[in-house]
Amino acid sequence: MTTSRRLLAALRTPLGALAVLACSALLFLVVFGPLLWGSSAAATDTTAIAQGTSPEHPFGTDGSGRDILLRTLVAARLSVTMALAATAVGVCAGIIVGLLPLILGGRIGRWIVAGINIGVAFPGLLLAISFSVILGQSGFAATLAIALAMVPSYGRLTHNLAASVWGRDFISAAHVLGVPVWKTVLRHVLPNVRDPLIVNAAVTAGNALVSFAGLSFLGLGIQVPQYDWGRMLSEGMSRMFVNPAAALVPGAAIILAGLTFVLLGEVLGVALGTGNHGSVIARFHRRLRARGAADPTAASAPVTDTAGVSADTPGASTVSPRHGKGASSHPETAVCSVRNLRVSAPGPKGEPNDLVRGVSFDIGRGEIVGIVGESGSGKSLTLMSLAGLIESPLHVSADAAHFDGEDLTLRADGHPRRLDRHFGEKLAMVFQDPMSSLNPALHVGAQVAETGRLHLGLNRAQARDRAIGRLEDVRIPEARRRFGQYPHEFSGGMRQRAMIAAGLMGTPSLILADEPTTALDVTVQAEILALLRRINTEVGTSIVFVSHDIAVVTSLCTRVLVMYRGHLVENVSAEDLRAGRADHPYTRALLATVPTMSTPRDAPLASIPDGADFLAEASALVEKEAP
């Protein structure tokens, strides 16, 4: 979605509309306030000095008999423009200071970063007050003081954002091409950190407004005869008990104007795509989407367009295992079986967009089943939905799902009702990146043992003993000592072993593995594959192994499911696959593209061209055979 479209969408939410309304009101006051009421707000009236609320003066008058309400409206121009001017200067200076360390590099760069860090240690308002005292008592000095006080925090923000972009490959590419550093920074870094900086500038403007009012309140900012909200607040405070409105009205103006800026930041954040997921508007959108996605597809009822989809996708839901030795095709005896599993994501207009399109299969006891396919084929989503790990806004539905003889009815949100208690006991999961699936702040052993305490009802000592036993089972040397180590002290392969050990705390009937060896070196990969094979033969655990690497899958698995664009196109024994016996044209094409140690060296490598559509090809084949 483009930024302008996102902006329009953000403005259509209640908060967005409110932000527009508040900003226009503020803009109107800034532009027209002094023109409309300037003279009447300045008119002194000696007959009405320091009066309370009256029909002529709804919020009373000040010490010179001037109307509080009119003065508050007129003061908007000075308060807001000064705050914006301070923000503009402070933000620009902050961005420059934040980018300089990258441009200058080396020792000077490090000194600048150290300077920023020292500056951030002082509270912003304290800095503003100190600068203001040094620079003298005037509106201009106060603006400059606030701008200067903003520089360290904004510089730090810019530097942090820029440093995260600095490590990316396109910066290295520019360096290799010989693009000058300052050009790289302006051309590649700044545009990529722009959005969060804009959003933060809006919020910073709100803070500047409050700080400015604070300085004026202390008598450091705007001087008589000019007045802003801070000045009015300080004048009103002395008569707080005579006419509270004299202090409360400018105070309320400060709060409302500050909120307007924060609101603007929030809306910009959504529009620019930097809004964090906890923001109010993001939550509102998620709820809307979730509602939209949940409505058309009720729990386990068949989806209305199922018939249409499976008709034009030959074999999508009708693929049955060929030559599947030991593969049970009966849902009752299978460890796990699903019928017509679908996963959909809401499209840009809320219409469901199918990612997994009606997949049915059984996992027999003691089987190792591989799921292969290229990225985006839906293989990981299929695995995640087996584990009940699909989160909103994605939506799962299935005609039937069984795990270990138990019927898993899906709840309205697409999650299986009774899967949770199987986790750790009968179902284990291994993810691709063991560094992110293990908590870096906790001992590895504690995380392995946790499964035992949580799901098996063991006490601390029992869980510890069993965890050490399991770590030994997966061949982690010195398991007792390793138990108390942190994940970063483990190698990649050992972390993956520890994850598998955690899965083995119970007696799982099924291990779900999502690309468990993709992040590992080949020699380590071979060890993990051997470990999984051993668990399978010794304990009889079934394994579903998702991978993009068809060579890994055929070397480990007994049966292979091939997925293509959300469809299950092939369900074949690994033996047949190794012999090149595959039905679907996609499987055959995929097999041909895998380079092996006997691939001819002079001929071009086989590949699948950009626009190939194997679903169409397969249906053409079926039609040809039919008459």
Partner 1 sequence: MTRALSFETVSISYGRGAQTFTAVDSVSLRLEPGEILGLVGESGSGKSTLARAAVGLVEPAAGSIRLGDTVISRATGTDLRERRRIQMIFQDPQSCFDPRRTIGESLDEALVSAYRREGEPCPSRQARAARVGELLDSVSLPGERAASLPAELSGGQRQRVAVARAIAAEPEVILADEITSALDVSVQGTVLNLLRELQRDLGFSVLFISHNLAVVRAVCERVAVMRGGRLVEVGETLRVMESPDQEYTRDLIAAVPSL
By beta-carbon proximity to partner 1, the closer residue of 18 and 524 is 524
**370 class by beta-carbon count within 10 Å (0-12 exposed, 13-18 middle, 19+ buried):** buried
Of the candidates 260, 247, 224, the residue with the CA atom closest to the CA atom of residue 72: 247
Show the beta-strand stretches assigned E in 452-552: 510-514, 542-547
Stretch that binds partner 1, among 40-48, 82-90, 297-305, 542-550 (CB under 8 A): 542-550
Residues 6 or more apart whose Cβ sits within 8 Å of residue 600 = none
Closest separation in Å from C-beta 431 to partner 1: 18
Closest separation in Å from C-beta 353 to partner 1: 18
Binding flags for partner 1, 169-188, as an x/- string (CB under 8 A): xx-xxxxxxxx-------xx
Which pair of structure tokens corresponds to residue 112?
Answer: 């600048």
* Phi-psi sector, 273: left (phi>0), alpha (psi -120 to 50), beta: left
**Residue of 224, 441, 461, 522 interacting with partner 1 (CB under 8 A):** 522
Please state, as a whole number, how many other Cβ atoms lie within 10 Å of the Cβ of residue 579.
9
**Residue of 43, 599, 622, 623 interacting with partner 1 (CB under 8 A):** 599
**Residue of 168, 323, 460, 481 interacting with partner 1 (CB under 8 A):** 168
CA distance linking residue 236 with residue 52, whole number of Å: 12
Closest separation in Å from C-beta 174 to partner 1: 7
Angle, CA of 156, 159 and 162, to the nearest 5°: 150
User: Which residues inside 395-424 make contact with partner 1, applying CB under 8 A?
Assistant: none
Contact 89, 205 (CB under 8 A): no
Stretch that binds partner 1, among 128-136, 391-399, 479-487, 608-616 (CB under 8 A): 608-616
Stretch that binds partner 1, among 24-32, 60-68, 391-399, 599-607 (CB under 8 A): 599-607
By beta-carbon proximity to partner 1, the closer residue of 463 and 572 is 572
By beta-carbon proximity to partner 1, the closer residue of 18 and 551 is 551
DSSP H or E stretch at residue 217: helix 190-217
Binding flags for partner 1, 113-152, as an x/- string (CB under 8 A): ----------------------------------------
By beta-carbon proximity to partner 1, the closer residue of 374 and 404 is 374
Closest separation in Å from C-beta 410 to partner 1: 31
Closest separation in Å from C-beta 451 to partner 1: 29
Contact status: 102 vs partner 1 (CB under 8 A): no
Which pair of structure tokens corresponds to residue 144?
Answer: 């400059």
By beta-carbon proximity to partner 1, the closer residue of 276 and 598 is 598
By beta-carbon proximity to partner 1, the closer residue of 194 and 443 is 194
Contact status: 548 vs partner 1 (CB under 8 A): yes
Residue linked to tokens 């409360």: 248
Looking from the CA of 300 toward its CB, the CA atoms found within 13 Å total 14
Closest separation in Å from C-beta 99 to partner 1: 16
Stretch that binds partner 1, among 69-77, 120-128, 162-170, 224-232 (CB under 8 A): 162-170
By beta-carbon proximity to partner 1, the closer residue of 5 and 421 is 5
By beta-carbon proximity to partner 1, the closer residue of 460 and 534 is 534
Closest separation in Å from C-beta 191 to partner 1: 5
Closest separation in Å from C-beta 526 to partner 1: 4
Contact 94, 153 (CB under 8 A): yes
Contact status: 617 vs partner 1 (CB under 8 A): no
CA distance linking residue 467 with residue 471, whole number of Å: 6
Contact status: 259 vs partner 1 (CB under 8 A): no
Q: What is the DSSP string of 434-453?
A: HHHHS-TTS-HHHHHHHHHH
Stretch that binds partner 1, among 225-233, 427-435, 438-446, 520-528 (CB under 8 A): 520-528
**Residue of 347, 348, 440, 604 interacting with partner 1 (CB under 8 A):** 604
DSSP H or E stretch at residue 564: strand 559-564
CA distance linking residue 361 with residue 315, whole number of Å: 12
Sheet architecture: strand order including 368-372: 427-430, 510-514, 542-547, 368-372, 559-564, 567-573
By beta-carbon proximity to partner 1, the closer residue of 48 and 529 is 529
Binding flags for partner 1, 475-514, as an x/- string (CB under 8 A): -----------------x----------------------
Closest separation in Å from C-beta 519 to partner 1: 9
Stretch that binds partner 1, among 48-56, 144-152, 423-431, 519-527 (CB under 8 A): 519-527
Angle, CA of 94, 96 and 100, to the nearest 5°: 120
Contact 506, 425 (CB under 8 A): yes
Q: Is 601 helix (H, G, I), strand (E, B) or coil?
A: coil
Closest separation in Å from C-beta 231 to partner 1: 44
Contact status: 36 vs partner 1 (CB under 8 A): no
Determine the size of the site formed for partner 1 (CB under 8 A): 52
Contact status: 274 vs partner 1 (CB under 8 A): no
Contact status: 202 vs partner 1 (CB under 8 A): no
Stretch that binds partner 1, among 167-175, 249-257, 299-307, 399-407 (CB under 8 A): 167-175
User: Which residues inside 569-598 make contact with partner 1, applying CB under 8 A?
Assistant: 577-578, 589-591, 593-597
Contact 463, 452 (CB under 8 A): yes
Q: Are strands 336-346 and 352-363 parallel, antiparallel or unpaired?
A: antiparallel
Looking from the CA of 523 toward its CB, the CA atoms found within 13 Å total 1
The secondary structure of residue 150, as a DSSP letter, is H
CA distance linking residue 624 with residue 191, whole number of Å: 54
Contact status: 97 vs partner 1 (CB under 8 A): no
Contact 386, 559 (CB under 8 A): no
Contact status: 608 vs partner 1 (CB under 8 A): yes
Contact status: 605 vs partner 1 (CB under 8 A): yes
Contact status: 3 vs partner 1 (CB under 8 A): no
Sign of CA dihedral 228, 233, 238, 244: positive
Angle, CA of 576, 578 and 583, to the nearest 5°: 45
Question: Facing residues of 571 across strands?
Answer: 561
Residues 6 or more apart whose Cβ sits within 8 Å of residue 268 = 198, 199, 202
**Residue of 225, 441, 538, 610 interacting with partner 1 (CB under 8 A):** 610
Contact 102, 185 (CB under 8 A): yes
User: Which residues inside 350-389 make contact with partner 1, applying CB under 8 A?
Assistant: 374-375
Contact 162, 98 (CB under 8 A): yes
Residues engaged in binding partner 1 (CB under 8 A)? 168-170, 172-179, 187-188, 191-192, 374-375, 492, 521-526, 529, 548-552, 554-555, 577-578, 589-591, 593-597, 599-601, 604-610
